[in-house]
Amino acid sequence: MGLTSALSTSRSGLLAIEKWSETTASNIANASSEGYVRKSAELSTKVGPSGAQVMVTGIKREVDTALDRMHRTENSRVAKQQAIADGLEYYTGQLGQPGGAQSPSEQLNKFFGGLDLLVNNPANPALQRGFLDTAQGLAASLNRAATSLGQTETDLVAGITRNVETVNATLHELADLNLQLSRIEGQNMSRATLEDEIGRTIDKLSEVVDLRVTRIADGRVSVFSAGGTPLLEVNVVHDISYDRGSGSLTAGGADVTPGVAGARGFENGSLAGQLTLQNELLPRMRLQLDEFARVLVQGFQAADASLAPGQAGLFTDAGAAFDPAQLDGLAGRLSINDAVRPETGGSLWRLRDGIGAAAPGPASDGGQLTAFVAMLDGPQSFSTGAGLGTNIDLTQYSAGMIADQQVVRTQALDRRDALSMSAESIGAMRRGVQGVNIDDELQQLILIEQSYAANSKVMSAVADMIDTLLASL
């Protein structure tokens, strides 16, 4: 090997070592950075007229696409259950647990207790007042539950709207990153850094929607819903639209609503959890409350012999008799008939004699009260949509309603915890494969130092030879 060739080879080696050291330094500096993928300098040699040359042919990201996909899928599943649990936190807190002092089931028990006392002593004004108070407490508990459920629905719509905006903004961000990536030539650190940013952005998006990602040869990505609907085709974004009234989502005209048969959408992610609440869980809970209120209004209306057709009974729909066409929202409108409320000009004795009674009957006559007890003790017909049984008594229904609504959040939390363990396990595997191991990088530095020393020694030896030759002239 000639002196010129030796110098050229050593110089190329030092330049390659510089890139190698920069890559290793970047790994060490970003070891704890979220979404950073370990990088390595790809070295090769080439023999030319000036001798062997060492070159860095590219910067390689040590990425595992299968682990990326699994990690994002598990995070989507966790996010769905978290969204369901978070969405129900306020409502279930207001509803109360079975046996809780303010829960509708406990207020119903108090109402039964007040009625039993009055049956045994129908002439006692204090017991009449006590029974009225328990009736008002029962109505108020259903009013509170309906109001808190309505607030939950309002908050949910706002949350869905924000999530849709986040998805669309993130898709446009990815389109911009794709554009930036297309302007970078070669497999260099700038490209690798930009691909890291794309990976982090997709990770963030996968917590909102369950998705599939494809990558073309130059590293740019396309994003599809889990069902295959395109959301981003390299640089073309198909924005998601949300219809609050129908609770539906579309992307580029295609239905992507979670839970809809035939829709090529997604089933996981926080947005899927929110849509599950809006379209499935909250409507059922609302129907359960309204069915509870309906049996009170309709039952006391039918059991009151003093009423003419179309007159309201003890429990009313905002003062009116039951109207089958007005079932929706009945729990929020449930009220006690003014005819028995002294503060509105009513008379307590109508609790004993019937709401439609024109004048007080015998003070000791508890016949009407007994009819009320018989109605409450008997099985009631409930809507199958409530999912609590169609032929059970009100006590069973109320206890089942509280338990059913509370268990939805409890199950979501349990599923979240179970899925979180799986997600963490996959995340640890992903970090082990794609993340930075400081010990490994320090070993790389030792190799870099040795390579640098070897190339420097060659250049120093060649310089000494040249000096010796010059001195001999």
Residues 57 and 157 in one domain: no
What pLDDT band is residue 440 in, cutting at 50, 70 and 90?
Answer: confident
Domain assignment present for residue 286? The answer is yes
Q: Is residue 428 part of a domain?
A: no
Of 392 and 438, the structure prediction assigns the larger pLDDT to 392
pLDDT in tens, 110-157: 999 999 999 999 999 999 999 999 999 999 999 999 999 999 999 999
Indicate whether 20 belongs to any domain. yes
Q: Do 48 and 136 have their domain in common?
A: no
pTM above threshold 0.75: yes
How far apart are the C-alpha atoms of 54 and 44, rounded to whole Å?
6
338 shares its domain with 444: no
Residues 306 and 274 occupy one common structural domain:
yes
**Tens of pLDDT, residues 63-93:** 888 999 999 999 999 999 999 999 999 999 9
Predicted confidence (pLDDT) per residue in 330-345, tens digit: 999 999 999 999 999 9
Give ∠ CA 148-150-153 in degrees, rounded to 5: 115
Q: Do 266 and 211 form a contact (C-beta atoms < 8 A)?
A: yes
Q: Are residues 11 and 88 in the same domain?
A: no
Res 472 pLDDT > 80: no
Reply yes or no on whether the pLDDT at 251 is more than 80: yes
Tens digits of per-residue pLDDT, 294-324?
Answer: 999 999 999 999 999 999 999 999 999 999 9
Query: Is 303 domain-assigned?
Result: yes
Whole-number Å distance between alpha carbons of 67 and 55:
31
Claim to verify: residue 256 and residue 145 sit in the same structural domain = yes
- 162 and 35 inside one domain: no
Radius of gyration of the chain (CA): 36
DSSP string covering 104-134, please? HHHHHHHHHHHHHHHHH-TT-HHHHHHHHHH
Q: Give the list of residues 6+ apart from residue 17 with CB closer than 8 angstroms, or none.
A: 448, 451, 452, 455
218 and 300 within one domain: yes
pLDDT of residue 2: 64
CB contact at 8 A, 220 and 182: yes
Strands of 236-237's sheet, edge to edge?
A: 211-215, 221-225, 230-233, 236-237
What SS3 class is residue 436?
coil
427 belongs to a structural domain: no
Report if residue 204 sits inside a domain. yes
Q: Are residue 381 and residue 465 in the same domain, yes or no? A: no
Q: Is the pLDDT of residue 1 over 60?
A: no
Tell me the residue range of the domain where 325 lies. 68-421
In this structure, is residue 346 part of a structural domain?
yes
| Same domain, yes or no: 132 and 94 | yes
Residue 469: is it exposed, middle or buried by C-beta count within 10 angstroms (0-12/13-18/19+)?
exposed
Residue 8 has pLDDT above 90, yes or no: no
The verdict on 269 and 380 lying in the same domain is: yes
Give the Cβ contact number of residue 415 at 10 Å: 17
Number of separate domains in the chain: 2
pLDDT at 50 over 90: no
pLDDT of 6: 65
pLDDT at 34 (0 to 100): 86
Q: Are residues 17 and 135 in the same domain?
A: no
What pLDDT shows up at residue 454? Answer: 73
pLDDT digits over 222-250, tens only?
A: 999 999 999 999 999 999 999 999 999 99
* pLDDT tens for each residue of 266-286: 999 999 999 999 999 999 999
Burial of 122 per CB tally in 10 Å (0-12, 13-18, 19+): buried
Question: Residue 426 falls within a domain, yes or no?
Answer: no
